[in-house]
A = this chain, B = another copy of it.
Amino acid sequence: MAKQTIGALVFPGFELLDLYGPLEMFGFFTEHFEIQILSRTSDPVASRAGPRTLVDVAWGEGCSGGAAWSELNPGGIAAPDLLLVPGGPGTRALVDEPVTLAWLADIAPKAGHTLSVCTGSALLARAGVLDGLHATTNKAAFAWVESQGPQVHWVRQARWVKDGSFYSSSGVSAGIDMALAVIADLLGRAQAEQAALWAEYTWHDDPGRDPFAGRHGLI
């Protein structure tokens, strides 16, 4: 496999583990994956909990709010091989932010694979790229995310869901299990199991195993 770029989106109020759980797993294979932190601007980005992350690629430099990304960049921009969209309370503002949604609508279908964790799927839903597909999300925020994408087939009980080139996971720590599944799909199951061993992590490798759906009254 040729080396893949992983573009990991950050925005104010992103959830730390949504981002860094999957990146930990991909980061074991630096010979196969190169991680780039993406943000609209080059300013450092604060997570919900406080810690701030530096930006490697500012995808929206020169963009003004309100203008459609496709109008500003008619030729399109290079998409990462894998696009990772975390969740967190910051998504509540971003679902009404047209530049980010236009960028996602442009870039997500061009990425080889698009991965969302937790409420990150609300952003993809509002960008329209999940319409007609199956997806899941955080079980504590299910109703809100569902309302962001009426044309999406939301799966109420799943650790993660794969549909076409889109992988979406349940809340926060579920992104780790999903990332291992993506690694299994791209590099083989033995590599995913090796990553879990390196991280001393018990991989929940059944995408249908979701003990949290019931605790939130979804089943």
Q: Which residues of A contact B (CB under 8 A)?
A: 8, 15-17, 19-21, 23-24, 26-28, 30, 34-35, 37, 44, 47-54, 138-140, 170-174, 176, 197-202, 204, 211-212, 215
The contact of A172 among B37, B47, B201, by CB within 8 Å, is B201
Q: Are B215 and A197 in contact (CB under 8 A)?
A: yes
Chain multiplicity (copies) = 2
Contacts of A202 in B (CB 8 A): 204, 211
A53-B53, A197-B212 given; name 18 further pairs at CB < 8 Å: A16-B23, A16-B24, A16-B27, A17-B21, A20-B20, A23-B49, A23-B51, A28-B49, A35-B49, A51-B54, A52-B53, A54-B54, A139-B200, A140-B198, A140-B200, A172-B201, A173-B199, A200-B212
For A211, the closest partner residue in chain B by CB is: B202
